[in-house]
Structure 1
Amino acid sequence: MTVLPDPGASRAVLIGCSQFDHMEQLPAVAGNLAALAETLCHPISWKLSPGNCVIVSNPASNDEVMTEIRSAAKQARDTLLVYYAGHGLIDLQNALQLALPKTHKQHVESGLPYDYVRQAVLGGQAERQVIVLDCCFGGLALGVMAGTPELVDQAAVEGSYLLAAASETSYALAPPGETYTAFTGELLNILRTGIPDGPELLELDAVYRHLRLALGAKQRPVPQARNRNTSARLALGRNRAFLPGLPVGSSASPNLDRRTWPSPEGIRTAQGFIAALQDVRQMSGLSQKAVSHRSGGRISGSGVSTLLTRETLPRTWTAVPAFLSACGVPDVQVEQWHTAWTRLRAEQASTTAAAQPPEQQITKPAAGTRGAWRRLTSRIGRSKPR
């Protein structure tokens, strides 16, 4: 089943190098970072909070990059996305090096080894990992030149999806005068406008296939991809070209039977729970007022707004089933939502209890001690200088 990540349990690190001391400048990379961050934080996509989407622009050193990747890998439990845009280089061992601003083309070892990134991502605890490389020779990360299947597998990140802008022998493209690089520009176009006649969610394999067709038609470098396990079913967002939403105030979508309601099973955080409820409302094609009307008064328009904009898990279950049923979610799936809500409430209570010290460890000043202190300070106050 294709899924959107839980935004509260997911992280993104976007690394871009547009300025170089010894190599050609890539001004389009700066545009890549800002636009991709905005897209990943957008309601139609992952709904990441800005704090969960870190931009590393023109880093001064490998340490600066690796610190951010390791921090994100440690925090992410659902999905970790690491993106790099800049120059790609090949070292003497035919391994990929990611250029930083001070990297010298004649001293490839001054770059950031891709393997460092791979190991940091592999060392994290995210269930799914996505690595996107918008650089020359990015296909090297896929293990294409490794020689044997065993080494190919070793080059990939377990349970991940690797997407490279160019093959292991090809250059990526940053067309002069364009706002974005060729690969990232096409990726952003897919995320913003969707795939005509494509799936409801922009799963990675569908995005990859469309990227190959679109870039190939423009005679631009053709991207490469490698999938491990089920990461191909991870979605980068909702397909804007799939069954456009209804006008505000419309009573119901005539094609709801063609839509797949968001599943609450993979939700890990309160933020993810609320984000999934927002997805339900978007899929229903109903305005907040229309949802209230269809609920028969069980939830008001302001109640719908409060439910969809809150930052914490609802304390009671009353408003959620009214909202879901009004949107058209089947009763059997409403029960799945209830199970998820109950689980999150229990985890929240357990976390709160664990953060509080046991009652027997809380010590209070003895009454005798307080009295002695008052008597001492009283005598000090009455004493006269000698």
Structure 2
Amino acid sequence: MYKYHCLNPISGVGLEEFTENYAPVSTPDTADAILVRSAAMHDMEFAPELKAVARAGAGVNNIPLEKCAEQGIVVFNTPGANANGVKELVIAGMLLASRDIIGGISWVQENEEDGNIAKDAEKAKKAFAGCELQGKKLGVIGLGAIGVLVANAADHLGMDVYGYDPYVSVDSAWRLSRNVHHATNVDELYEQCDYITVHVPALDSTKGMISRDAIGLMKKGVVVLNFARNVLVDEEAMVDALVSGHVKHYVTDFPTPEIAGVKGAIVIPHLGASTEESEDNCAKMAVKELMNYLENGNIKNSVNYPDCDMGLRGNNTRILLLHHNVPNMIGQFTKILARDNMNIADLTNKSKGKYAYTMIDVDSEVPEGVAEELRQVNNVLRVRVIS
């Protein structure tokens, strides 16, 4: 029986994916797996039994990834599960910035007691008219699950779409509309586009990428949208650009004291993935990732260990080794198994940065003594045996 603990409320639709071999526990102390959304985990102490953490969402800033990796805890996220919800809000953000819908609604509310409101509205509406999206240039920075959906949707709206992503995956490239222009550098987007939306993770290389210099390259009257991570934008530079009028609107899903209330800023209270459908999809994906790892040892969508898949275990015993990515680890593993007369039916090894994962199928039981020998190998972080 596997045990799981939810640090945040997790969609019941997702939790229903667990089979009868899984049971919830009230604390993480005895859990094999943790499901989390936004709860901060950096100060948590992890129990020896904890094998995996699944983030029901894409961002993992609330999880200590290296600390988990060093303890042999695999951290999963759910890329793409909430992509449609974010895409729809990005499109809504562009519409809010192009047509002064918010200003028009506010005018109606302010004049709700006006007996001639219909007639007066005809005079007032020109102040909120705005422009259409069709024919405008949109720059999409980052062509992952969300960026591709935004680019394709904008193309369907008749926008001239430019995409930039030096690390675009084969899967994303296949799903991207052929009408999207592939920019060779991000400056091309800054210089040419009327709307710019950013969809990249918060890494050391991307934090503050929408900088004062980047904004300086943009057209006067540009609209910038940020539904990815707050730290991607230099907010001081953005406030200055809004005040000067260089940036017409900054549409963001991240309220901060610096940006809230600034003229031209359209600030949304982090609603991007806050739809019932997104939460259901993220929970279902997270549960399936955990079950596949706990039962078969397969890793898919991990952020601290490499993806690795040997399919269903079948009748073999599966040995799973999480370790540092250093030379001669496989040689040491196979030497121990050979010394104990264990036949290897299948083996795979993958690495990701400092960490690696080895999966070995053997056609016999694994004595505890052998498992302990493997644990004692230098640079091994965790050994699991599934039979």
TM (norm. structure 1) is 0.24
Structure with the higher strand share, 1 or 2: 2
Structure with the higher helix share, 1 or 2: 1
TM (norm. structure 2) is 0.24
